[in-house]
Chain A
């Protein structure tokens, strides 16, 4: 029994490359439009300055955009048939992925011009027996720091494979 092999445990210890993302006003506007965030601080630098930021400020959950680019902005040969990035898929026989739990702690706001460094690792890999077979849980940790070395976010994200 058990689908988590030594190979999968070895995969969980691998290092993911550090990812650096320069935030533009366009990135912020795209995410704000996509989520129907209407506050002008996301679009208008003057409105953002009036609110105390030095440029347009990202919606609170914008770090998701950065971590997705860190995973998905790869050569097409490094994507699975379902579009998922191969590097995030553990070597296990169960391949259908679902979103599980997400925890986000926020630090300093992200504003246009910030250079965000993302560090990513597998925090936990475990399995449970589900009704229709084994479920494998992969918990990833992402930490986001800005160019001043300040923490802007830390996110834990669990993906479930069945």
Chain B
């Protein structure tokens, strides 16, 4: 078995910009059978709930958080755990930068730990968290 190639502590995750459209929000709600109106019913969301626009799902941002690592390291790693908080709302039309930093890289267990974030272009962090990925060397 070849030695797993894992990024070293301190390495930055390449930033990916995600700008979900109404189609993305619809597909995410539909795939999960998520019926909460704040993701598709604009008059309800603005007039009744007082939001400035349709909300980008917190769990969709959780997916973006971990995908920034998957897109970087490909099938060489598999997500083991993630913990995140949705800190501020993100609305339809917001461009979201997704990135982070490797905080630990352990060759003996073939795992890396990362701090990850999703932020708006103005710098507001909307979601942040920590995750652990394991190398898939030797079978995933």
Contacts and interface: CB of A to CB of B under 8 A. Distances in A.
Interface of A: 27, 30-31, 33-37, 39, 41, 51-52, 59-61, 64-65, 68-69, 72-73, 79, 82-85, 96, 98-106, 109
Given A65-B32, A102-B83, 18 more contacts: A31-B32, A33-B27, A37-B67, A39-B75, A41-B75, A52-B140, A61-B82, A72-B32, A72-B35, A82-B37, A85-B35, A98-B86, A102-B58, A102-B82, A102-B84, A103-B82, A105-B81, A109-B140
A72 B80 CA distance: 27
B45 to A, nearest CB: 9
Interface residues of B, number: 38
Most buried by A among B30, B49, B79: B79
A84 B35 contact: yes
B79 A106 contact: yes
B86 A99 contact: yes
A112 B139 CA distance: 19
A83 B36 contact: yes
Interface of B: 24, 27-28, 30-38, 41, 44, 48-49, 57-60, 62-63, 66-67, 70, 75, 78-86, 129, 139-140
15 contacts: A30-B31, A31-B32, A34-B28, A34-B30, A35-B28, A60-B66, A61-B79, A68-B34, A82-B48, A100-B86, A101-B83, A101-B85, A103-B83, A106-B80, A109-B78
A57 B8 CA distance: 28
A106 B31 contact: no
A114 B33 CA distance: 19
A106 B81 CA distance: 6
A104 B82 contact: yes
B128 to A, nearest CB: 11
Nearest to A84: B36
A72 B62 CA distance: 20
A64 B70 CA distance: 18
A35 B67 contact: yes
